[in-house]
Structure 1
């Protein structure tokens, strides 16, 4: 999947052995973490003008690529409670056709490059294009790096579950509106 704007150029390919090169060391680190815990191979290339645009557009492109690879019947739901040192974070995903994000990230000590606003932009981009509901809640944590990395680990686990195949359509309506 490729996204080109005046602000960014992003290419995401799932199922391909490759590297992650966005030229943002923090985002690269978090994406490596995400896909490790998701259990998926990926290749990501990006250029950008502002970090805000990069994080949002990587989220959008990733969501489009994930949506294009969904099996006809998929698990839909995924969740994780992820500890990392001082951090404990809950992440829940519902690929339902209804984009929504609730992000409650909290920590006492910031760290250069690890910013709540960028995480929120990434998650909103992902949720809109994947057509998913994503909830993130910090239960405890002091260090920004630990809280945000635990978030991406948990997101990887939750997405890995949600995109997995299912034997049945996971909807009491008999329809999931994620295509179109």
Structure 2
């Protein structure tokens, strides 16, 4: 449970990403993906999860936002998994229902080692700022599979698209914070199999 800090990089013909996360941080972050609304969402995730997060992403945003957002999701999942190590002593499960004005979003996580995304969020617009709303699902799909986590995200209520996206990212931060917390009564991995 000590020094749960990790750095990962990913370089392709479409993106060049470097990311560092401290799971035991204070919500400090320095995020630059070239997509301002996406930076705002990652800031909410980090601040409400109390993760220190540095992200530098250069992508082909002149094409569209897809490659950058998807690849940042892949790297975030890899970085979370690397920082968690063998997952010994963590709570493993986390869930949070987050209200934001008229919006109510649910996020539940199992750091099981088995990737799965159950996503039920509907937007009424195609874009928020420079971010395609369909990329919210693609981002969380990438995170869930590269971190090997079971991730459920559901919109329970909401009308304002900005609030919906923001509530989802903040709920994810809160739920992940819970799942990665230490459980002092559990010294090994919380699984009957002995590994996650």
Does TM-score exceed 0.5, indicating one fold?
Answer: yes
Per-residue Cα deviation, 1:21-52 (whole angstroms, up to 9, x for no partner): 11100110000000001101111100111311
Per-residue Cα deviation, 1:53-80 (whole angstroms, up to 9, x for no partner): 1111111101111111115322211111
Matched, 1:157 2:174: yes
Matched, 1:123 2:140: yes
SS in structure 1 at match of 2:107: strand
2:193 matched residue in structure 1: 173
2:15 matched residue in structure 1: 8
- CA distance in 1 between partners of 2:72 and 2:110 (Å): 20
Say which of 104, 108, 117 aligns to 1:101. 117
- CA distance in 1 between partners of 2:139 and 2:124 (Å): 22
Deviation at 1:93, TM superposition (A): 0.8
SS in structure 1 at match of 2:154: strand
Say which of 29, 32, 35 aligns to 1:21. 32
Deviation at 1:18, TM superposition (A): 4.9
C-alpha RMSD of matched pairs (Å): 1.7
Structure 1, unmatched stretches of 5+, are none
Say which of 124, 127, 138 aligns to 2:155. 138
- Stretch deviating more after TM superposition (114-123 or 82-91): 114-123
SS in structure 2 at match of 1:172: coil
TM-score of the aligned structures, taking structure 2 as reference length: 0.84
Per-residue Cα deviation, 1:113-158 (whole angstroms, up to 9, x for no partner): 3544201111011011110011111111001110110000100001
Structure 2, unmatched stretches of 5+, are 1-7
Task: Assess if the C-alpha contact under 8 Å between 1:14 and 1:43 holds in 2.
Answer: yes
- CA distance in 2 between partners of 1:132 and 1:57 (Å): 17
TM-score of the aligned structures, taking structure 1 as reference length: 0.91
SS in structure 1 at match of 2:128: coil
Matched, 1:82 2:89: no
Count of residue pairs brought into register by the alignment: 176
2:5 matched residue in structure 1: none
- CA distance in 2 between partners of 1:108 and 1:42 (Å): 30
Per-residue Cα deviation, 1:80-103 (whole angstroms, up to 9, x for no partner): 100101110110111111111111
- CA distance in 1 between partners of 2:138 and 2:124 (Å): 21
Task: Assess if the C-alpha contact under 8 Å between 1:110 and 1:143 holds in 2.
Answer: no
